[in-house]
């Protein structure tokens, strides 16, 4: 008789991340010989800039391989502090900064530090896949605010005001957004901040990991609005802007009491982040942004190609995202259609159909709280994107 482990109930509260699941399915098919193009993963296809890699090599040669302080190397926290001031006009001292093993780790630390059982968290939809499951793991209550494509996937101050209750503890959002690429302007952030000003019991988690993948020319941080500064926790990291996904460096800027709480929690989980990655991060943050801007400009060319090609496909409704490296089209037109014996009932069906009939991985919108949509990443080469667009068009045209 085979052994069946009895797992904790919390494991059943959430599903495997759909971005990871689709990437896994694509890798399995690719290993079997199929020419799969991966447009599901949020990972720049560029290599980490050479000057950053050289800093890591130098750190290894210098023997900087020991445990680090839980909150991060002092030199890195100072570099982050300088970055916040230089690029975001945010004043975060060293004791307000905690470095973690990726921005995901940073967000989880903050939620653990703030949430008690049944505390309410407001999440605008569409949202990054892990926000909701993190809240569920901590026994929080989620309230979603729908931000449709007609609003460029951004909520209004009126929607926010109507959603906040006395039980609301946290509001979490990303700008630039994953999965939509939408960006809140300064005036839009100020209108949201006015609502938060009138509700001093609400904390704001601002996920700014895509800060540098921004085609508008200007990034705005909601923590720059003085009336709510103490209640904003700014999340950032090096994965997207520096092509350092595998290095796992994320960080927060927050009120020093929140930062200390995160440090205290992290001391019982991961302790200090990888020493070599931190040394490389110091060099990255103190260096110039030319490699980052190079990547951003290449992403813009890819975005324009994808928008141009997908806009020609009957049934796809798409807006033009000003940031990140995703498009998020409405694909509900294809629900109810079929090809051979393959029936499309929802976005998950369409994502699997494209995997099997177009050799392209995408992620269904249900994972982001938007069941009529599909997330398509353009963090891939122009050659792959051209082939993917051709394959997607051919596959969708076969649906009747």
On whether both 41 and 61 belong to a single domain, the answer is: no
* Cα separation, 391 vs 224, whole angstroms: 44
**Is residue 232 in a domain?**
yes
* DSSP three-state, residue 223: helix
Mean pLDDT of the 224-240 span: 98
33 pLDDT band, cuts 50/70/90, is: confident
370-390 pLDDT per residue, tens: 999 999 999 999 999 999 999
Cβ contact 111:244 at 8 Å: no
Domain that holds residue 72: 51-286
Which of 261, 286, 311 is the last residue in one of the domains? Answer: 286
**Is residue 159 in a domain?**
yes
The CATH number that applies at residue 330 is 3.90.1150.10
Task: Report DSSP letters for 261-285, one per residue.
Answer: HHHHHHTTTT-S--HHHHHHHHHHH
On whether both 319 and 361 belong to a single domain, the answer is: yes
On whether both 167 and 268 belong to a single domain, the answer is: yes
132-186 pLDDT per residue, tens: 999 999 999 999 999 999 999 999 999 999 999 999 999 999 999 999 999 999 9
200-209 pLDDT per residue, tens: 999 999 999 9
User: What pLDDT was estimated at residue 1?
Assistant: 63
In the predicted structure, residue 32 carries a pLDDT above the cut 90: no
User: What pLDDT was estimated at residue 24?
Assistant: 76
310 pLDDT band, cuts 50/70/90, is: very high
In the predicted structure, residue 15 carries a pLDDT above the cut 90: no
Q: Based on the structure, what is the number of domains in the chain? A: 2
* DSSP three-state, residue 206: strand
Tokens 């269904």 correspond to 364
User: What pLDDT was estimated at residue 2?
Assistant: 87
The CATH number that applies at residue 166 is 3.40.640.10
On whether both 302 and 266 belong to a single domain, the answer is: no
239 pLDDT band, cuts 50/70/90, is: very high
On whether both 37 and 63 belong to a single domain, the answer is: no
**Is residue 336 in a domain?**
yes
On whether both 205 and 254 belong to a single domain, the answer is: yes
- Number of residues in the chain: 400
In the predicted structure, residue 21 carries a pLDDT above the cut 80: no
**Is residue 1 in a domain?**
no
On whether both 272 and 360 belong to a single domain, the answer is: no
User: What pLDDT was estimated at residue 130?
Assistant: 94
Largest Cα separation within the chain, whole Å, is 64
């Amino acid at each position: 008789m085979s052994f069946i482990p009895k797992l904790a109930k919390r494991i059943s509260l959430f599903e495997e991340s759909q971005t990871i699941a689709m990437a896994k399915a694509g890798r399995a098919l690719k290993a079997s010989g199929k020419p799969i193009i991966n447009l599901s993963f949020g990972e720049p296809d560029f290599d980490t800039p050479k000057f950053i890699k050289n800093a890591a090599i130098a750190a290894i040669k210098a023997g900087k391989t020991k445990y680090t302080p839980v909150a991060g190397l002092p030199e890195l926290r100072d570099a982050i502090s300088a970055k916040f001031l230089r690029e975001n006009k945010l004043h975060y001292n060293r004791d307000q900064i905690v470095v973690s093993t990726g921005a995901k780790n940073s967000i989880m630390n903050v939620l653990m530090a703030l949430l008690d059982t049944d505390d309410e968290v407001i999440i605008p939809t569409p949202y990054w896949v892990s926000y909701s499951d993190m809240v569920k793991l901590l026994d929080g209550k989620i309230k979603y605010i729908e931000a449709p494509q007609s609003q460029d996937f951004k909520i209004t101050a009126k929607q926010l005001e109507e959603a906040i209750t006395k039980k609301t503890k946290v509001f979490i959002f990303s700008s630039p957004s994953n999965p939509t690429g939408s960006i809140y302007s300064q005036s839009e952030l100020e209108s949201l901040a006015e609502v938060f000003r009138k509700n001093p019991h609400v904390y704001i988690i601002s996920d700014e990991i895509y800060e540098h993948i921004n085609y508008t020319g200007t990034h705005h941080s909601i923590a720059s609005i003085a009336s709510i500064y103490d209640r904003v926790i700014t999340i950032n990291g090096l994965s997207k802007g520096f092509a350092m996904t595998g290095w796992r460096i994320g960080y927060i800027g927050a009120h020093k009491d929140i930062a200390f709480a995160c440090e205290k929690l992290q001391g019982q989980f991961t302790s200090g982040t990888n020493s070599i990655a931190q040394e490389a991060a110091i060099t990255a943050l103190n260096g110039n942004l030319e490699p980052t801007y190079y990547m951003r400009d290449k992403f813009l060319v890819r975005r324009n190609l994808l928008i141009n090609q997908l806009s020609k496909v009957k049934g796809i409704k798409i807006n033009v995202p000003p940031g990140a490296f995703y498009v998020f089209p409405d694909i509900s037109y294809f629900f109810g259609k079929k090809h051979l014996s393959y029936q499309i009932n929802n976005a998950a069906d369409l994502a699997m159909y494209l995997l099997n009939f177009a050799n392209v991985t995408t992620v269904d919108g249900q994972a982001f709280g938007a069941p009529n949509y599909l997330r398509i990443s353009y963090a891939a080469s122009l050659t792959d994107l051209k082939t993917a667009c051709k394959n997607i068009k051919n596959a969708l045209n076969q649906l009747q």
